[in-house]
Chains A and B, each alone.
Chain A
């Protein structure tokens, strides 16, 4: 959001839109309810690509000559998993932020954004420096209860794809190999997170 030209033909906006919808005022409460039964954001055994799948936070739009969905899952499964900044894993920082949002009721919503970084030789990281402590994460929350997560990107995603992670081999498991995912496996679908259809007359969501 805030870009002059739709980024990636709109793929970035779709990803951000679905992420923001998954953690908006209403859905954050639903996710907290799921976390009470399964600690989705503990960060050791759960994986970001699985969580994105379960949360419906992935693009389903068609973009000319671009597998935005496959690239997004590859990014979560491979690139972000290995990314480090300031001596901290970016994945760990994201899990810490999401976990914080689950615990602190002062957080009313999470807003995601992505900005091109000025150094193309660093990994992806969460601004300012991959925060993990509650004190550092608290600084990302404004007075309205919005927790802003800004991902700094050194470059555009490579043209490498991973399939949608709905296969049995992709399920999150504990150290003993036991499946730790509990129902609901699909917390939201991308359709749940789509913008509402607006009334042409009032330009507000149709009832």
Chain B
């Protein structure tokens, strides 16, 4: 988080009581469905992102305030994001070459819409509207970081990982035609 994007001060965060309650419920559902992962919402920051990480033997998923309370981020987008971040911890198979504790992005995505969504549905009855979630994320990403999109498009063309580019990632998630990844992931995500 050295170069994290923070929502500008002139963009109002969605700090309503109902939003706070919705986040509490979501985090509660994820804690119940995926034991062993600590879910946190960092309300003190305007950073627009979410992150999975391991520290001191514990596994964390954190929603940063600029994302959790972003006016463009819907409940579906939050659910998909929490599933994706949980997938970094729970998906089996391919890991980041640089951090073997975490599954790579494409695997985390596949887990999110498959095993992760199914586990969440079994535990809490929650169903995620994937189209709505990805359309929301599309809008958020387009609004914050045009450079990232261009950069990742170039990288994905060069090295062929669908998860490195948001447009191909979105398209693969919709079509469910994402190739199964093998070997360690060398991409920097």
Residues of A within 8 A of B (CB): 1-17, 20-21, 24, 61-66, 68, 71-72, 75, 111, 113-116, 118-120, 127-128, 139-140, 142, 144, 146, 148, 150, 153, 155-157, 195-198, 200, 203-205
Q: List 13 A-B contacts (CB under 8 A).
A: A1-B96, A1-B102, A2-B52, A6-B189, A7-B1, A8-B5, A120-B44, A127-B56, A148-B55, A150-B55, A155-B6, A157-B3, A203-B182
Please report the number of residue pairs spanning A and B whose Cβ atoms sit closer than 8 angstroms: 173
Q: Which residues of B contact A120 (CB under 8 A)?
A: 44-45
Contact of B53 among A2, A65, A203 (CB under 8 A): A2
Task: Give Cα A64–Cα B153 distance, bound, in whole angstroms.
Answer: 14
Contact call A156/B102, Cβ cutoff below 8 A: no
List the one stretch of B10-18, B29-37, B80-88 in contact with chain A.
B80-88
Interface centre among A16, A75, A116, A139 (most CB of B within 10 A): A116
Contact call A111/B51, Cβ cutoff below 8 A: no
Contact call A13/B49, Cβ cutoff below 8 A: no
Contact of B2 among A64, A157, A200 (CB under 8 A): A157
Task: Give Cα A200–Cα B156 distance, bound, in whole angstroms.
Answer: 12
Residues of B within 8 A of A (CB): 1-6, 42, 44-45, 47-57, 62, 64, 67, 81, 84-85, 88, 96-102, 137, 140-141, 144-148, 150-152, 155, 159-160, 181-183, 186-189
Task: Give Cα A88–Cα B62 distance, bound, in whole angstroms.
Answer: 27
Please judge, given known A-B contacts A12-B2, A127-B56, whether A64 and B147 are in contact too, CB under 8 Å.
Answer: yes
Q: Which residues of B contact A148 (CB under 8 A)?
A: 54-55, 101
Task: Give Cα A40–Cα B96 distance, bound, in whole angstroms.
Answer: 28
Contact call B189/A13, Cβ cutoff below 8 A: yes
Interface centre among A5, A75, A150, A155 (most CB of B within 10 A): A5
